[in-house]
Amino acid sequence: MTTTSWQDSVYTALKKAGVRQIAYVPDAGHSRLIELAHADNEMHVVVCTTEEEGVALAAGAHLGGQRACLLMQSSGVGNTINMIGLPTTMRAPFLTLITMRGEWGEFNGWQVPMGQATEPVLKAMGVTVKRADTKEEVVDMVAASAALAFGSIIPVAVLFSQKLIGTKVFVKEAE
Protein backbone atom coordinates (compact mmCIF):
# COMPACT_ATOMS: atom_id res chain seq x y z
CA MET A 1 0.00 0.00 0.00
CA THR A 2 1.37 3.40 -1.01
CA THR A 3 0.61 6.40 1.16
CA THR A 4 0.64 9.94 -0.12
CA SER A 5 2.91 12.35 1.74
CA TRP A 6 1.58 15.71 2.85
CA GLN A 7 3.98 17.30 0.35
CA ASP A 8 2.37 15.32 -2.49
CA SER A 9 -1.05 16.52 -1.33
CA VAL A 10 0.18 20.13 -1.15
CA TYR A 11 1.43 19.83 -4.73
CA THR A 12 -1.97 18.50 -5.80
CA ALA A 13 -3.65 21.45 -4.05
CA LEU A 14 -1.42 23.87 -5.98
CA LYS A 15 -2.34 22.17 -9.25
CA LYS A 16 -6.06 22.29 -8.39
CA ALA A 17 -5.66 26.01 -7.66
CA GLY A 18 -4.40 26.50 -11.20
CA VAL A 19 -0.74 27.13 -10.35
CA ARG A 20 1.30 26.54 -13.51
CA GLN A 21 4.59 28.20 -12.56
CA ILE A 22 6.83 27.42 -9.60
CA ALA A 23 9.78 29.59 -8.66
CA TYR A 24 12.20 28.52 -5.96
CA VAL A 25 15.56 28.97 -4.36
CA PRO A 26 16.87 25.47 -3.53
CA ASP A 27 15.75 24.37 -0.06
CA ALA A 28 15.72 20.92 1.55
CA GLY A 29 12.38 21.66 3.21
CA HIS A 30 10.74 22.07 -0.21
CA SER A 31 12.68 19.26 -1.90
CA ARG A 32 9.65 17.02 -2.51
CA LEU A 33 7.56 19.88 -3.97
CA ILE A 34 10.49 20.87 -6.18
CA GLU A 35 10.92 17.27 -7.34
CA LEU A 36 7.21 16.98 -8.20
CA ALA A 37 7.25 20.30 -10.09
CA HIS A 38 10.24 19.27 -12.18
CA ALA A 39 8.58 15.94 -13.02
CA ASP A 40 5.37 17.66 -14.19
CA ASN A 41 5.37 18.55 -17.89
CA GLU A 42 2.49 20.98 -17.30
CA MET A 43 4.48 23.01 -14.77
CA HIS A 44 6.99 25.69 -15.69
CA VAL A 45 9.73 25.60 -13.04
CA VAL A 46 12.32 28.33 -12.50
CA VAL A 47 15.30 28.08 -10.17
CA CYS A 48 16.03 31.54 -8.81
CA THR A 49 19.37 32.88 -7.68
CA THR A 50 17.61 35.04 -5.08
CA GLU A 51 14.09 35.10 -3.69
CA GLU A 52 13.05 38.48 -5.05
CA GLU A 53 13.34 37.06 -8.56
CA GLY A 54 10.50 34.73 -7.60
CA VAL A 55 8.30 37.66 -6.58
CA ALA A 56 8.89 39.24 -9.98
CA LEU A 57 8.21 35.92 -11.73
CA ALA A 58 4.86 35.64 -9.93
CA ALA A 59 3.92 39.17 -11.00
CA GLY A 60 4.91 38.40 -14.58
CA ALA A 61 2.93 35.16 -14.53
CA HIS A 62 -0.15 37.14 -13.48
CA LEU A 63 0.36 39.64 -16.31
CA GLY A 64 0.63 36.69 -18.70
CA GLY A 65 -2.59 35.10 -17.43
CA GLN A 66 -1.04 32.35 -15.30
CA ARG A 67 -0.73 31.57 -11.62
CA ALA A 68 2.58 31.09 -9.85
CA CYS A 69 3.88 30.12 -6.44
CA LEU A 70 7.22 30.97 -4.84
CA LEU A 71 8.86 28.35 -2.62
CA MET A 72 11.41 29.76 -0.19
CA GLN A 73 12.91 29.44 3.27
CA SER A 74 12.35 31.95 6.07
CA SER A 75 15.96 33.08 5.82
CA GLY A 76 15.21 34.31 2.28
CA VAL A 77 12.25 36.47 3.29
CA GLY A 78 14.57 39.35 4.13
CA ASN A 79 15.75 39.34 0.52
CA THR A 80 12.20 39.97 -0.74
CA ILE A 81 11.17 42.97 1.35
CA ASN A 82 11.64 45.65 -1.31
CA MET A 83 10.17 43.48 -4.07
CA ILE A 84 7.14 42.40 -1.99
CA GLY A 85 5.67 45.82 -2.69
CA LEU A 86 5.35 44.89 -6.38
CA PRO A 87 2.28 42.63 -6.22
CA THR A 88 0.54 45.00 -3.81
CA THR A 89 1.25 48.07 -5.96
CA MET A 90 0.20 46.42 -9.21
CA ARG A 91 -2.73 44.60 -7.57
CA ALA A 92 -1.50 41.14 -8.48
CA PRO A 93 -1.97 37.94 -6.52
CA PHE A 94 1.09 36.49 -4.83
CA LEU A 95 1.34 33.08 -3.18
CA THR A 96 4.42 31.90 -1.36
CA LEU A 97 5.09 28.78 0.70
CA ILE A 98 7.82 29.36 3.26
CA THR A 99 9.69 26.70 5.20
CA MET A 100 10.57 28.02 8.62
CA ARG A 101 13.95 27.90 10.33
CA GLY A 102 15.04 29.18 13.72
CA GLU A 103 12.23 27.42 15.56
CA TRP A 104 11.66 23.86 16.76
CA GLY A 105 14.99 22.19 17.52
CA GLU A 106 17.10 24.62 15.48
CA PHE A 107 20.84 23.99 15.80
CA ASN A 108 22.01 27.00 13.79
CA GLY A 109 21.76 30.28 15.70
CA TRP A 110 22.18 32.21 12.45
CA GLN A 111 18.65 31.09 11.43
CA VAL A 112 16.93 32.37 14.59
CA PRO A 113 16.68 36.16 13.94
CA MET A 114 15.00 35.88 10.53
CA GLY A 115 12.90 32.95 11.74
CA GLN A 116 11.50 35.19 14.46
CA ALA A 117 11.09 38.16 12.13
CA THR A 118 9.47 36.38 9.16
CA GLU A 119 5.83 36.73 10.14
CA PRO A 120 5.95 40.32 11.45
CA VAL A 121 8.03 41.49 8.47
CA LEU A 122 5.60 39.95 5.97
CA LYS A 123 2.61 41.44 7.80
CA ALA A 124 4.30 44.86 7.84
CA MET A 125 4.55 44.61 4.05
CA GLY A 126 0.81 43.89 3.72
CA VAL A 127 1.07 40.14 3.20
CA THR A 128 -1.64 37.97 4.72
CA VAL A 129 0.19 35.28 6.70
CA LYS A 130 -1.12 31.80 7.50
CA ARG A 131 0.75 29.11 9.40
CA ALA A 132 0.65 25.33 9.09
CA ASP A 133 1.97 23.46 12.12
CA THR A 134 0.60 19.95 11.50
CA LYS A 135 0.31 17.50 8.63
CA GLU A 136 -3.43 17.41 9.21
CA GLU A 137 -3.93 21.12 8.49
CA VAL A 138 -1.30 21.86 5.84
CA VAL A 139 -3.18 20.83 2.69
CA ASP A 140 -6.37 22.72 3.58
CA MET A 141 -4.25 25.71 4.62
CA VAL A 142 -2.49 25.79 1.23
CA ALA A 143 -5.73 25.31 -0.71
CA ALA A 144 -7.52 28.05 1.23
CA SER A 145 -4.53 30.38 0.95
CA ALA A 146 -4.31 29.86 -2.82
CA ALA A 147 -8.03 30.62 -3.11
CA LEU A 148 -7.52 33.77 -1.02
CA ALA A 149 -4.48 34.97 -3.00
CA PHE A 150 -5.89 34.33 -6.46
CA GLY A 151 -9.54 35.11 -5.68
CA SER A 152 -8.93 38.30 -3.71
CA ILE A 153 -5.83 39.30 -5.68
CA ILE A 154 -3.65 39.82 -2.61
CA PRO A 155 -0.27 38.55 -1.38
CA VAL A 156 -0.54 35.49 0.89
CA ALA A 157 2.23 33.53 2.59
CA VAL A 158 1.88 30.11 4.18
CA LEU A 159 4.53 29.36 6.77
CA PHE A 160 5.42 25.67 7.13
CA SER A 161 6.59 25.40 10.74
CA GLN A 162 9.90 23.75 11.50
CA LYS A 163 8.03 21.17 13.57
CA LEU A 164 6.01 20.26 10.45
CA ILE A 165 8.95 20.01 8.04
CA GLY A 166 11.35 18.48 10.54
CA THR A 167 14.52 19.73 12.10
CA LYS A 168 17.58 19.88 9.89
CA VAL A 169 20.42 17.80 11.20
CA PHE A 170 23.96 18.05 9.95
CA VAL A 171 26.17 15.16 10.94
CA LYS A 172 29.90 15.63 11.11
CA GLU A 173 31.61 12.98 9.02
CA ALA A 174 33.95 10.60 10.80
CA GLU A 175 37.59 11.28 10.09
User: Can you state the angle between helices 31-39 and 6-16, rounded to 10 degrees?
Assistant: 50
Percentage above 90 pLDDT, the chain: 71
The whole-chain average pLDDT of the chain stands at 89
Total residue count of the chain as it appears in this document: 175
Sign of the C-alpha dihedral computed for residues 144, 149, 152 and 155 taken in this order: positive
pLDDT of residue 110: 62
CB proximity list for 123: less than 8 A, separation 6 or greater: 129
pLDDT single digits (tens) 8-25: 999 999 999 999 999 999
| Domain annotation for the chain: domains and CATH numbers | 6-163 (3.40.50.970)
Assessment of whether the complete model's pTM goes beyond 0.85: yes
Q: Is 130 helix (H, G, I), strand (E, B) or coil?
A: strand
Residue of higher predicted confidence among 83 and 117: 83
- The one-letter amino acid code at 53 reads E
pLDDT of residue 167: 67
